[in-house]
């Protein structure tokens, strides 16, 4: 069964809630900066649809927003 594609806005919000808030909850400045950059990315790519795994691969391999160690970021 093939997974459903979701609008990028939904996936960015999912990522913020499940990754950013959990890993950077004690770093307000970094958290706010990353959220703004992710939302800007979603705004610039409104029509984009993808699967959650595809977004994780894109974020981890090609985007340079997150400054956490790679192993911790991917947990």
pLDDT at 42: 95
The pLDDT tens digits of the residues spanning 15-73 come to 999 888 888 778 888 889 889 999 999 999 999 999 999 999 998 888 887 776 666 66
Do you know the residue count of the chain?
Answer: 75
Q: What is the pLDDT of residue 36?
A: 94
Q: Would you say 6 and 50 are in contact if contact means Cβ atoms under 8 Å apart?
A: yes
Has residue 1 got a pLDDT over 80?
Answer: no
Task: Give residue 30's Cα distance to chain centre.
Answer: 14
pTM here?
0.83
For the chain, domain boundaries:
6-67
Residue 46, both tokens:
């409104």
pLDDT score of 74 more than 90 = no
**Residue indicated by tokens 């956490």:** 68
Transcribe 7-38 into DSSP letters. Answer: EHHHHHHHHIIIIIHHHSTT-HHHHHHHHHHH
Cα-flanking dihedrals φ and ψ of residue 74, to 5°? -85, -10
């Amino acid at each position: 069964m093939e997974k459903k594609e979701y609008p990028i806005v939904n996936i960015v919000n999912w990522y913020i809630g499940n990754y950013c808030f959990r890993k950077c909850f004690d770093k307000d400045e970094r958290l706010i900066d990353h959220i703004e950059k992710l939302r800007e990315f979603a705004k610039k790519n409104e029509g984009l649809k993808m699967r959650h795994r595809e977004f994780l691969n894109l974020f981890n391999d090609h985007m340079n927003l997150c400054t956490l160690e790679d192993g911790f970021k991917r947990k």
